[in-house]
Amino acid sequence: MTTPGTVLITGASSGIGRITALRLLQKGWTVHAAARRVDAMEDLRSRGAFVHALDITDPGSRQALSDAVSDQHEGLDALVNNAGYGSIGPMETMPLDAARAMFDVNVFGLMGLTQALLPAMRKRGQGRIVNISSIAGQFVTPGAGWYGASKFAVEAISDALRMELQSFGVKVVVIEPGLIRTGFEAVSKPSLEAGGDDPVWGSMMRNVAKAWGEGFRQGSDPEVVAACIERALTDADPSPRYRCGSSSESALIQRFIPTRLWDSLVRRQMIGG
C-alpha cells in the first residue's frame, strides 16, 4: 500500500492514536477516528476525520462502528488497533478482575473489532492490520506482569493472523514502541500508588514508580511512533515488526542475554537489587 487510503484508528482521542490520526490526515488519508471520548476528537473532526464513539469492550459498540464504516466505504484499507491501557501491580496482589478488564481492552476488544472488520478486507483481497503492542510484549519488568501478558497475547494473535491471512492479501504488522511520552505513567499512577502502600510489596513498587518516572521523562515523542505506523501502512512489503522510540532496542538485546543475567540487570534498574 503505497498511496493514502482509508484507515480506522482506535484510541484516537489522545496520545499515539491522536498524533497518528493527525499525521495521516496531513498525508491525505481518509481517517476514521474512534474512542470512548468523542468530545476529545473534535479537533480531528474539524480537520476532516470521521469521528466515532467506541467502547471496545462492548460487542454492540464494535459492530456499530463496523457498520458505520461499511456504510461509507466498500472496505477499509487499514486498521490501526491502538486502544489499550495498563494497570500495574505485583502478581501476588493485583486483583484478577483488574487483569481481566485490561485483557478485555488490550486483547479481546482488539480481536473483536478485527473480527468485525476483517471479512470485508479478506473479500477484497487487500488490507493492512497494524496492532500496537509494546516492548512489554517481548519482556516484562517487576510490577508490570499482567500488562506484559496482555501485550504478549497481542504479539501471538498478530503472528497467527499474519500467517492465516497471507494468502488473502491482508498484511499484519506489529508496532513495538519503547518509552513514549503519552501520559501512560499518569494513567497507571493510581495502581502504582496503591502498590506503594502494600506492606509487603510497597518498597518494590515505589522503586518501580521511580524508575518508570525517570524512564518516561527521557521517553520519545509520540510522533516517533506515528511515523513508524505510517511506515507500516505504506511500505509495499512491510516487516512483521517495527520497533521505535526510547529503549525499544532492549527488546532486541534481551534475546541475546542469559535469563539470570537479564533478571539481575532488570532488578538492579527497577528495584535496586
Query: Which residues are part of the catalytic machinery?
Result: 147
Cβ neighbourhood burial of 215 (10 Å; 0-12, 13-18, 19+): middle
Cα separation, 136 vs 177, in Å, equals: 9
* DSSP letter (8 states) at residue 131: E
- Residue 177: name the closest of 149, 216, 210 by CA: 216
Beta-bridged to residue 81, according to DSSP, are 131
- Parallel, antiparallel, or unpaired: how do β-strands 6-10 and 78-81 relate? parallel
Q: Where does 125-239 have alpha helices with state H? A: 145-165, 184-187, 189-196, 202-217, 222-234
Are 79 and 8 in contact by the 8 Å Cβ rule? The answer is yes
Helix (H) / strand (E) element for 65: namely: helix 59-72
